Amino acid sequence: MKNHGIWQQVTREWGIRIGLTLLAIVWLTLMAASWADAADNPRETNDDYSFSWLDPEKRIYVLQNRRYAKAHKLMLSLLSGVGVSNPYRTTYNLDPRVAFYFSEAFGIETFYTQTSNKSNTTFNQLQDASPTTWPLVREVRSQMGVTAQWVPWYAKINVFNKILYLDWYFSAGVGTMQTALETRTTAKGASSFTDQSFTAWYFGTGHHYYLNDSFSVRLDFLGAAYRAPVAPTSSTNAWYSNYNFDIGLGWRI
């Protein structure tokens, strides 16, 4: 009965994580669709007041002016957040980054993520209920890599009668992932870890919310995919993933 309750809790926790991820994807998709629809179907206005009669052949187009620029600038960022992939660990991240933007649409960013790990409730309950059944525990200790950034959307949002300017970016790149694999097979004895290093493929998305000409608040989602052994002594590899949600501050110089 105890094992059944533990697995129910694991299933519930992963269900919440998957649900939140799906909600985020749906929200981002709806925003993109809304912007695309607005661009394809501009609001009809009275020609006498819109002055469209000055350009009946529609040869003149008005583009949204960008108030805050990042092209040809260096951006230093410090982010912090949580990891949501390890079923047996509560993880927290500290993530300094350096980016350079060649234009308003394209840039490159390097990052180093330091991660702290702590046993969570699921792991402790499993350990108490079944001391001789030990799960595969792989802790992500750090990540390092370089990603290319594409910034297709720039937007303005009215928040309590204040205009908020934001960029929405997507990123992809490659790097390394440092992990530690738990080698114990029972709850008896001290913890024992084997350090491992893997090549990781990174992908992500996020927002820059501009505060002024120099600073912006960043929301960032970064995922990683890597191949690792399925067990401490196994020669068989499988694909694993890791996901981080971070918030922080960016400084353009």
Domain range annotation of the chain: 63-252
- Predicted confidence (pLDDT) at residue 92 exceeds the cutoff of 80: yes
Q: What is the pLDDT of residue 20?
A: 63
Q: What is the pLDDT of residue 125?
A: 84
Beta bridge partners of 224: 202, 242
pLDDT bin (cut points 50, 70, 90) of residue 123 is confident
Q: What is the pLDDT of residue 18?
A: 65
Rounded distance between C-alpha atoms, residue 143 and residue 149, angstroms: 18
How many helices (H) does the chain have, and how many strands (E)?
3, 8
DSSP-derived 3-state class of residue 76: strand
Rounded distance between C-alpha atoms, residue 199 and residue 114, angstroms: 16
Distances (CA, A) of 93 to 63, 78, 79, 84, 115: 39, 11, 8, 11, 5
Q: What is the pLDDT of residue 157?
A: 84
Q: What is the pLDDT of residue 45?
A: 46
Q: Name the E strands within 37-103.
A: 73-83, 89-101
- Please compute the mean of the pLDDT values over residues 225-253 and round it to a whole number: 92
**pLDDT, tens digit, for every residue of 28-87?**
555 544 554 444 455 544 444 455 655 566 555 555 678 899 999 999 999 999 999 998
pLDDT bin (cut points 50, 70, 90) of residue 122 is confident
Neighbouring residues of 6: CB distance < 8 A, sequence distance ≥ 6: 122, 125, 126, 129
Strand 162-182, strand 193-210: pairing: antiparallel
Q: What is the pLDDT of residue 90?
A: 93
Higher-confidence position of 130 and 73: 73
- Please compute the mean of the pLDDT values over residues 181-186 and round it to a whole number: 77
Q: Give the lowest-confidence range in 145-154, 163-172, 182-191.
A: 182-191
Q: Give the lowest-confidence range in 33-42, 150-159, 189-198.
A: 33-42
For 138: left if phi > 0, alpha if psi spans -120 to 50, otherwise beta; the answer is beta
Q: What's the chain's average pLDDT?
A: 82
Q: Give the lowest-confidence range in 6-20, 101-115, 122-136, 235-249.
A: 6-20
Q: Which of 34-43, 162-171, 198-207, 227-236 has the highest mean pLDDT?
A: 198-207
- Please compute the mean of the pLDDT values over residues 18-25 and round it to a whole number: 63
Q: What is the pLDDT of residue 177?
A: 96
Higher-confidence position of 119 and 113: 113
Do residues 111 and 96 touch, judged by C-beta distance below 8 A? yes
Taken in order 169, 170, 175, 180, is the CA torsion positive or negative? Answer: positive
Strand 162-182, strand 89-101: pairing: unpaired
Neighbouring residues of 238: CB distance < 8 A, sequence distance ≥ 6: 227, 228, 229, 230
Indicate the fold that domain 63-252 takes in CATH: Porin (2.40.160)
